[in-house]
Amino acid sequence: MTIKVGDKLPNATLIKATENGPDAVQADDYFAGRKIALFSVPGAFTPTCSARHLPGFVDKIDELKAKGVDEVACTAVNDAFVMGAWARQAGADGKVTMLADGNGAFVKALGLDSDFGKFGMGTRGQRFSMIVDDGVVKELNVEQPGEFKVSSAEYMLDQL
């Protein structure tokens, strides 16, 4: 079953990419007591993700925070080293928190996993964004395959 607005996020272990290396965090702890703008990409360094999705959140971070967002986080079915390298390359380091979901357990628990096998990528997360307030989904924006419309930072700003 796919998560929906009003649901509490499932608890899963995510690996936060930090300057000191990977740091395991529990979703229950990470999302507790804060408003998080979370977005998911099919993969770090992939075309739309690198050209539009992550840069949009980097560019709009101050506006998101001005509207009450405590933190902006990106997740992908990649390891923390790849997520960290991508953040550095994209100028997102220190702005967007990178949460690696290396085995896809988090997106599977959300019901937002997808088979990208035809691209040689295996099981990945769908492209989506959500506003999470104290662990509860307040807004959920899931893209149709191949699209980039409703999961952007601009779209999220209109929801806040």
Q: Is the pLDDT of residue 5 over 60?
A: yes
The pLDDT > 70 percentage for the chain reads 94
* Structural tokens at position 41: 């990409």
pLDDT (tens digit per residue) in 64-92 = 999 999 999 999 999 999 999 999 999 99
Q: Give the Å distances, CA to CA, from 96 to 8, 68, 83.
A: 22, 15, 11
Taking the C-alpha atoms of residue 130 and residue 119, their distance in angstroms, rounded to an integer, is 25
> pLDDT value at position 52?
79
Q: Are 44 and 83 in contact (CB under 8 A)?
A: yes
**Confidence grade of residue 121 (pLDDT, cut at 50, 70, 90):** low
Domains of the chain: 13-159 (3.40.30.10)
Q: Is the pLDDT of residue 57 over 70?
A: yes
**Confidence grade of residue 122 (pLDDT, cut at 50, 70, 90):** low
| Global confidence as pTM | 0.93
> Catalytic residue numbers?
49
